[in-house]
Amino acid sequence: MINIEDVYFLTYLGKSELAAAGTSLSRPELELLVLIDGKATVSQIQASAGHLAPGAVIEVLDKLLRAERIALQQFDIGDFFGAGAPSEWKGEMPSDSAIARGVSTLQQNGYIVRIARRPPGELKLAQGKKFQVMVVEDDQNLAENMCMVLTHAGFVARVAANREQIVAAFRQPPLPDLVLLDVTLPDADGFDVLAKVRQHPMLGKIPVIMVTGTATREAVLKGLLGGANGYITKPFEIDVLVKAVKTVLGIEAGDQKADLGSILDAAESARPGGEAVAAAPAAATPAEPEAEAEAPFVPAPGGLLAQLRQAALAKQLEQQKPDPKEQMIPRVSAAVERAYRHLKEFAGQLNLAKPAYAKEYAIVGVPKFDDLKWEEVRIDFRTRELSPTTKVFERMTLNFSLSANKKLSVTRDASADEKLEQLLLGTKIAFTTQQERNDRGAVVRTTFIIPCEVKASLQLVGNFDTGKLLLKTHNVEHFGTLEYVLSPEAITEESLNELSRFILGESRRIGPLLLQDA
């Protein structure tokens, strides 16, 4: 999906289009290729292409991306994990009492934060733009749940589970607005990752909230000194996660205690280059008399006992929950079955009517595949037997062919015939060749005979582990293979009608109803 903050650059094919004497691209496609320089964002390209509506620019860019004329630019963050150790900490250490208050607050509320930025009112984003949150968590189920919660709260979430995925996620534009960082990772320590982020020139100012299973004095001190913007303890409630994220981003007023302001301001003053944050007014604290004898131990509210109760309650709720996989299987199966029954009727109508195809197929250096008509359309499905009495729909496949009952002919000199041959083989287009040789027997030119026909397929596969569907298309609407991850709930009568129009060539892209909640 094209994002207005994305940056694209020309691929080899895109540069070849601009350099070629002739091209199969439309005028808007060529104009946008000229504007793409690897630096301008999509929104800047929209502003430069004034005669094209913003929506039309997105549509043309999407087509160029699918045709591999352009590719998404990635950030160069260097050797992230190979960087040197963070600089030595300098500044005033938080007091023991301030650290103790932070630990107590964390145990009682489940999170502590400091405000990263506080706008005068609710932060307004440009139309179509959302805050990007990067979730660094190796527990797949927890990561998926966190992403689901963040998505419903209006954020865009991306996931990383190890060192390699962390680097890939940071390279993906746009940079995240906030990172939720698990302390314990399979091949990295969360505090070490925090240190790398804070010393990095491009990533250093990104707010980071640490996610930890313990609320110890050492962990709180280590995170605060490392420049963490907050802590969340596991297990956490949904509202705690959303509240902490919104508070750190400054898009919702926080409800922090006065004593919380002290510990966070102290840590902030110790961070090199840190921006000052206005402290909450501290409550007056009466002077403590000198202790004559050791005071009796009184458990702090929200201490170990509260954690024990919270863990037991979470375990009870977990045991009462139905198996999520058992819930996903019927939803996925029903979605595949709905698609099969809808497209089966669609295929029957096409086989009876055999209408003209609405569009043309094009490939660089070859005459257009035009005057196409529908030939044969076949559809089948595959089920999986879960038990002697239970079968589920796992996959449906639609295969079809278009033909113009004619042949296309292209002649290339020996220096260029191999390139065309590789292009045809890569696109899986059938062809035969006739070679012309000179007196010495060397090939001087080759004529490619190409049947004007297209063989295409569309497949919908259910994944009973993730609860998602994979839609794979080959040579549908244009030459090439595409894949989409879909939600079972998106497979409706209306979205399947959109898909049918796409197959017919009446639209250039998969309908938005299918891609919602993907």
* CATH 3.40.50.2300 in the chain, residue ranges: 96-120+127-275+300-320
- Partnered with residue 447 across adjacent β-strands are 411, 434
Backbone angles phi, psi at 72, to 5 degrees: -70, 130
User: Can you give the pLDDT at residue 268?
Assistant: 36
111: confidence class by pLDDT, cuts 50, 70, 90: low
Query: Whole-angstrom Cα distance, residue 390 to residue 144?
Result: 28
Alpha carbon separation from 59 to 56, 407, 509, 516 (Å, rounded): 5, 31, 8, 17
Could you tell me if 163 and 188 are in contact, meaning their C-beta atoms sit under 8 angstroms apart?
yes
User: Can you give the pLDDT at residue 302?
Assistant: 45
Please return the burial class of 136, using the count of CB atoms within 10 Å of its CB with bins 0-12, 13-18 and 19+.
Answer: buried
**pTM to 2 decimals?**
0.41
User: Can you give the pLDDT at residue 85?
Assistant: 47
Smallest Cα–Cα separation from 236: which of 276, 192, 182?
182
Could you tell me if 219 and 192 are in contact, meaning their C-beta atoms sit under 8 angstroms apart?
no
- pLDDT tens column, 132-168: 899 999 888 888 888 888 988 888 899 999 988 998 8
User: Can you give the pLDDT at residue 329?
Assistant: 86
Query: Whole-angstrom Cα distance, residue 362 to residue 116?
Result: 51
Q: How many CB atoms lie within 10 A of CB 143?
A: 19
Q: Which two tokens stand for residue 186?
A: 């399979």
H or E segment to which residue 169 belongs: helix 163-171
Q: How many CB atoms lie within 10 A of CB 85?
A: 9
Residue 257 in this model has a pLDDT that exceeds 60: no
**Mean pLDDT in residue range 242-246:** 87
Residue 293 in this model has a pLDDT that exceeds 60: no
Q: Which two tokens stand for residue 58?
A: 């997105």
Query: Whole-angstrom Cα distance, residue 267 to residue 223?
Result: 9
- pLDDT tens column, 309-338: 566 666 655 555 555 666 788 889 999 999
Q: Spell out the residues 6+ positions from residue 426 whose beta carbon is closer than 8 angstroms to its own.
A: none
Q: Is the pLDDT higher at 240 or at 99?
A: 240
* Residue carrying the six token digits 């995170």: 223
Question: For the CA atoms of 192, 193, 196, 198, what is the dihedral angle to 10 degrees?
Answer: -100
449: confidence class by pLDDT, cuts 50, 70, 90: very high
Averaged pLDDT score across all residues of the chain:
76
Residue 77 in this model has a pLDDT that exceeds 90: no
Query: Whole-angstrom Cα distance, residue 10 to residue 16?
Result: 9
Per-residue exposure over 219-258, b if at least 16 CB sit within 10 Å of its own CB, e if not = bbbbbbbbbbbbbbbbbbeeeebbbbbbbbbbbeebebbe
User: Can you give the pLDDT at residue 324?
Assistant: 61
User: Can you give the pLDDT at residue 419?
Assistant: 83
Question: Could you write out the DSSP letters of every residue in 181-250?
Answer: EESB-SSSBHHHHHHHHHH-TTTTTS-EEEEES---HHHHHHHHHTT--EEEESS--HHHHHHHHHHHHT
Q: Which two tokens stand for residue 11?
A: 């691929």
Query: Whole-angstrom Cα distance, residue 160 to residue 169?
Result: 7
Query: Whole-angstrom Cα distance, residue 169 to residue 172?
Result: 5
User: Can you give the pLDDT at residue 503?
Assistant: 92
Among 78-92, 117-131, 343-357, 387-401, the range with the most confident prediction by mean pLDDT is: 343-357
User: Can you give the pLDDT at residue 313?
Assistant: 60
Q: Looking at residue 499, what DSSP letter applies?
A: H
User: Can you give the pLDDT at residue 4?
Assistant: 77
- pLDDT tens column, 23-47: 778 888 888 888 887 777 888 888 8
- pLDDT tens column, 360-401: 898 878 899 999 999 999 999 999 887 776 788 999 999 999
CATH of domain 96-120+127-275+300-320: 3.40.50.2300
402: confidence class by pLDDT, cuts 50, 70, 90: very high
Q: Spell out the residues 6+ positions from residue 271 whose beta carbon is closer than 8 angstroms to its own.
A: 91, 198, 225, 227
Residue 448 in this model has a pLDDT that exceeds 90: yes
User: Can you give the pLDDT at residue 456?
Assistant: 92
112: confidence class by pLDDT, cuts 50, 70, 90: low
- pLDDT tens column, 453-507: 999 999 999 998 888 999 999 899 888 888 889 999 999 999 999 999 899 988 7
- Partnered with residue 233 across adjacent β-strands are 212
Question: Could you write out the DSSP letters of every residue in 357-372?
Answer: PSS-EEETTEEEE-S-
| CA 115 to centroid of chain Cα atoms | 26
User: Can you give the pLDDT at residue 49?
Assistant: 84
User: Can you give the pLDDT at residue 325?
Assistant: 63
Strand-strand pairing, 230-233 and 208-212: parallel
